[in-house]
Amino acid sequence: MPSGGKRVRSGPAKDPNSEKSRRLGYTLQSLPNTECRMKPPEWPLEPADDERVRKLEAEKWKWLWKLPQARAWHLPQFKWMIHELALYARLSTACEIAPAPTALTVPLRISDRVGMSAAGLQALGWKIEAEAERKPVDSEFTRRRAKELNQESAAERSPMDETKHVYQRRMSGNG
């Protein structure tokens, strides 16, 4: 029986922030953390027999194509995932209707392959951007207050401070 050898996802996951990743040029493609507004592709599978199941699959299909990953799924190199996504929608819908613990493993594996899990995102070289921090309110008051604070800090500094090196200011007791 053979042993050893390379296995899928064996060993530690690549760290995009490490020095080795920088040298190798390994980076993750950022996907905006917003709803994708592109039109979903046509349903690639045969329609289900049951009307209720068809409706649930359609809802799941629309939901999938609103995820941030949908921007990548629309790219030509990832068109192969469309069928996988339809299988995911069908199988996860089936699991919701008639839960079976063993049946849940297939949608979980598909979710890894198409980038719907953290491990799947990293395996595909994607990352979803962190939500943008709230920008401060831009108003006349905030602009005026910022100007006042800048003037106050400029008044506290002497003209001599700007010409001296930091070390010289510290040695003279002014920095």
Instruction: State the DSSP H helix or E strand holding residue 128, giving kind and residue range, or none if neither.
Output: strand 126-128
Please state, in angstroms and rounded to a whole number, the distance separating the CA atoms of residues 33 and 68: 6
Q: Looking at the predicted structure, is the pLDDT value of residue 57 above 70? A: yes
Q: What is the pLDDT of residue 166?
A: 53
The CA angle 31-36-37, to the nearest 5 degrees, is 145
Predicted confidence (pLDDT) per residue in 120-161, tens digit = 998 898 999 887 544 555 666 667 777 777 777 776 665 555
Give the mean pLDDT of 27-49.
91
Percent of the chain residues past pLDDT 70, beyond the cut = 74
